[in-house]
Amino acid sequence: MSKIGYIRVSIERQETARQQEIMCEYQVDRIFSEKLSGAIADRPQLKAILDYVREGDTLYVESISRLGRSTRDLLNIIDTLNNKGVTLISHKESIDTDTPTGKFMLTVFAALSQLEREQLKQRQREGIEIAKAQGKYTGRKPIPIDWDRFGKLYWEWKAKNITGRDFMRRMELSANTFYRRVREYEIRNGITEPTSA
């Protein structure tokens, strides 16, 4: 049975000293640490922990917000730990998932954490709307595109000489932006045939 610690801060300049101190208090055997936003589900060190832990192990965190920001992500992590027979202890919230009360409290805290995040997003959206109404916010500027190069690749793609993925990679476009640009190009050039994938 091992004691595992997980330390996470959102940005590079944040300090981990407080979390490290807590891990020392718990006398953990091994610490996994990373500097990534909790909103990112695919975190290498978190994945490493979930692969590493075994039945009977205990995972220690400073706060449940260190594990995940959304209720869904957090509960998926908890399910994984439960299925492996691993106990989670969260210092800040005094949660121990080895107890029924701890499991219930974890669900409540996760929901509150997500509510707080959603409220922050709502306030940001409201702030943007106010700024727009006052003419102070214009949004992101569109990314300029080389239509000549796009056109050459478009016809290569239509002739099936390159794949859509190659096209996106060469133009450095995401899938959504790629298809939006294809529609735009077809409208600009009066192309009415259906777009192939």
10 as an active site residue: the answer is yes
The answer on pLDDT for 140 being more than 70 is no
Q: Are 69 and 98 in contact (CB under 8 A)?
A: no
Which residue shows structure tokens 């796009």?
A: 150
DSSP H or E segment with residue 71:
helix 71-83
Between CA 16 and CA 19 the distance in angstroms is 5
DSSP H or E segment with residue 177:
helix 175-188
Between CA 141 and CA 150 the distance in angstroms is 20
Residue 95 in 3-state DSSP?
Answer: strand
Between CA 27 and CA 48 the distance in angstroms is 20
Across residues 25-36, what is the average pLDDT? Answer: 92
- In this structure, of 8-17, 116-125, 146-155, the range with the lowest mean pLDDT score is 8-17
Q: Which residues neighbour 85 within 8 Å (Cβ) at sequence distance 6 or greater?
A: 54, 55, 56, 57
Domains, the chain: 3-114 (3.40.50.1390), 147-188 (no CATH)
Q: Are 9 and 15 in contact (CB under 8 A)?
A: yes
Which candidate in 2, 10, 63, 70 is catalytic?
A: 10
Token output for 173: 């476009």
- In this structure, of 41-45, 136-140, 160-164, the range with the lowest mean pLDDT score is 136-140
**Global confidence as pTM:** 0.54
Say how many CA atoms lie within 13 Å of 66 toward its Cβ: 26
More confident residue, 184 or 39: 184
The answer on pLDDT for 89 being more than 70 is yes
| pLDDT tens-digit series, residues 102-139 | 878 877 776 776 777 788 888 888 888 888 888 776 66
Across residues 12-30, what is the average pLDDT? Answer: 87
Which residue shows structure tokens 């400073």?
A: 62
